[in-house]
Amino acid sequence: MPTARAALAAAVVLTAATAAGAAAVTPQPPPPTPVAAEPLSMSSWIDRAVRRMPLEQKVGQLFVATVWGKSATEEHPTNLAHYGVGTPAEVVERFHVGGVIYFNNSGTDNIDSPAQLARFSNGLQRAALRSGPHLPLIVAIDQEGGNVTRVEAPATEHPSAMAIGAGRSERDARTSAAVNGRELRAMGVNQNFAPVADVNSNPLNPVIGARSFSSDPDLSARLVTAQIGGFQDGKPAETVSSSAKHFPGHGDAATDSHTGLPRIDRSAEQWRAVDLPPFRAAVAAGIDSIMTAHIQFPSLDPSGVPATLSRPILTDLLREELGFDGLIVTDALGMQGVREMFDDAEIPVMALEAGVDQLLMPADFPLAYDAVLDAVRSGRIAEARIDESVRRVLKQKWERGIIARPLVDERALPKKVGTPQNLAAVQALTDRTTTVLRNDDDVLPLAAPGDVLVVGIGDTVNQAKTPTQLATALGGTALPTGSRPTDAVIAQAEAAAADADTVVVLTNNLSANTQQRTLLTRLLATGKPIVAVATQVPYDAGFVDAPTWVATYSWRGVSMNSLAKVLLGRTSPVGRLPVAVPDGADPSVERYPFGHGLSW
């Protein structure tokens, strides 16, 4: 990393040397450092950068923007509707944003492939470097693994956090994060909103589920710590910032904060015992950022204000009690959980007053941006408060090597992303996560599988492929039936089962998808050997009394490969439940205890 005053000034204020570097595929080396030049410390550089920025640029640095399109120069009508400009590069230039975030859904559709993403990232960084304040971007993503996977194959795909919880291995947790982080950085992404630090204490939680490592605070804390090390330890230019989410803890929610405002009614003492440990561990591990939750937590803030907007939660607890001085980033500000009580102009101002540094994805970006400017100009928020958060943003950019190396080498991508070594490492750790909950009829392993029929799973493009992928691995036949199979589809599955020796039923959230329960129940009634597989949350096993139950915690291909090995007896299942599975009809009855798992 350059340390001399001349080199760093070039990286920040866009001298001719920096401009030349921004025009190439790979960054050019800094100019030779004069022998007599004084080293420029991080704090000195930040001081100078903040002094030189007008208020409009400072405010822009606090926002992480959604952009539409798949390249920096792609004209997209939604950018024009939201921002008044057509391309992602123009969004960056017009609003001086400090960061952008990628999605492969939610309508933004930013991602085709790792190579495309690397080009996109470089294009956005060049736009940031040629416009005031001439600072490179924090480029963010949600790449948790399992269901929340934004960059898919040929990048390495990962199992869910709960699968890693079933494996119980801190080493495996760290390996998964290290592979994930290195590949993201090679694509130009330098901040990953992971790991999930929520302790999934509510089996009916509609939004966290298998995104959580466990219902056990200690296990969750240990695996969160391991993943932070995997993401952040190493050379700055080869690592990513991680972000523990969602503070103060989303694990007991009964409402999805995307669509409503959850209320958590546990006491402050219960919060300290259950929800706090993973976040305390994250702070101790030196995590770069922590994401807020759009939840009410009356025992922590009796006002009922969502945690994202709560000074008692973000400043009194997170900043002062826990001693966290990294970036506090909001969950997406377009979610209903934070919009239910306040309007879109008030939300970003209240978030900053509460102690937030990064404002993620406001519903109306120009309105939010202008609202913060107006709050400072009116005296409601002191400019010194804005400076405080800008300094944290710049510190992360410096420490994560973004200032020194904003661009990535697109030509090196095949040697860094989806490599045989990475794929093998993640497959090996996933093989240690499959959990057999029940094998009453000794169906497993399938010593002589014969004709195997695979049915079930959900409706997304990838979920629809999952039965076929597993059937191919088992040498069988697939009949994808979706998350809500109709009576006609169920009858079709019954007819197909008549010609099969074994039927594998892939389930996905039986608590909500009652038609899947009907499918499994009617297939059990055929008398054929049935292997029920919970491909997301293991709580599915509490809703239908099948004699054979397996949990994979993820429907990704890497998890299906591991499942096939277990079903065929090529590996022994060693995963153990990281949560307890209650009876679906009577949650006070425990069907399968924490730590349960069969082997052979």
| Cα 313 from Cα 353, distance rounded (Å) | 12
Residues marked as catalytic: 258, 331
> Around Cβ 542, how many Cβ atoms within 10 Å?
26
CA-angle at 387, arms to 386 and 388, nearest 5°: 90
439 lies in the same domain as 390: no
Low-confidence ranges of the chain (pLDDT < 70): 1-39, 106
pLDDT of 39: 61
> Around Cβ 213, how many Cβ atoms within 10 Å?
32
440 lies in the same domain as 365: no
DSSP state for residue 302 in the 8-state scheme: T
357 lies in the same domain as 478: no
With respect to residue 529, please indicate whether it lies within any of the assigned structural domains: yes
Compute and round to an integer the Cα radius of gyration of the chain: 25
356, 380, 415 - which closes a domain:
415
- How do residues 70-109 score in pLDDT, each as one tens digit? 999 999 999 999 999 999 999 999 999 999 999 987 678 8
Tell the residue number behind the tokens 């919009």, with chain if given. 339
Lookup: tokens for 247: 């503070």
pLDDT of 462: 75
403 lies in the same domain as 462: no
Tell the residue number behind the tokens 């219960």, with chain if given. 270
Beta carbons within 8 Å of 265's beta carbon, 6+ residues apart: 298, 299
Contact 170, 222 (CB under 8 A): yes
**CA distance between the termini of the chain:** 52
Contact 516, 507 (CB under 8 A): yes
| Cα 243 from Cα 352, distance rounded (Å) | 18
With respect to residue 280, please indicate whether it lies within any of the assigned structural domains: yes
With respect to residue 8, please indicate whether it lies within any of the assigned structural domains: no
| Cα 237 from Cα 402, distance rounded (Å) | 7
388, 415, 442 - which closes a domain:
415
439 lies in the same domain as 396: no
382, 415, 448 - which closes a domain:
415
| Cα 290 from Cα 327, distance rounded (Å) | 6
| Cα 583 from Cα 307, distance rounded (Å) | 32
Provide the CATH number for the domain around residue 563: 3.40.50.1700
With respect to residue 533, please indicate whether it lies within any of the assigned structural domains: yes
Beta carbons within 8 Å of 366's beta carbon, 6+ residues apart: 82, 83, 84, 95
- How do residues 540-563 score in pLDDT, each as one tens digit? 999 999 999 999 999 999 999 999
With respect to residue 49, please indicate whether it lies within any of the assigned structural domains: no
Task: Give me the helices (H) in 346-419, please.
Answer: 346-354, 365-377, 383-399
247 lies in the same domain as 353: yes
Lookup: tokens for 248: 């103060």
276 lies in the same domain as 398: yes
265 lies in the same domain as 399: yes
410 lies in the same domain as 444: no
Beta carbons within 8 Å of 396's beta carbon, 6+ residues apart: 138, 191, 241, 288, 289, 326, 327, 402
Show the domain range for 368. Answer: 60-415
150, 177, 151: which is closest to 164 by C-alpha? 177
439 lies in the same domain as 325: no
Lookup: tokens for 322: 């826990």
With respect to residue 48, please indicate whether it lies within any of the assigned structural domains: no
With respect to residue 39, please indicate whether it lies within any of the assigned structural domains: no
| Cα 575 from Cα 210, distance rounded (Å) | 14
| Cα 306 from Cα 427, distance rounded (Å) | 39
Contact 291, 279 (CB under 8 A): no
Contact 485, 515 (CB under 8 A): yes
Q: CA distances (Å), 218 to each of 83, 225, 266, 496, in order?
A: 44, 11, 19, 46
- The DSSP H or E segment spanning 222 is helix 217-232
With respect to residue 50, please indicate whether it lies within any of the assigned structural domains: no
Provide the CATH number for the domain around residue 354: 3.20.20.300
Amino acid at 296: Q
209 lies in the same domain as 350: yes
| Cα 274 from Cα 282, distance rounded (Å) | 15
399 lies in the same domain as 293: yes
- Report residue 531 CA to chain centroid gap: 30
Contact 75, 85 (CB under 8 A): no
The total number of structural domains in the chain stands at: 2
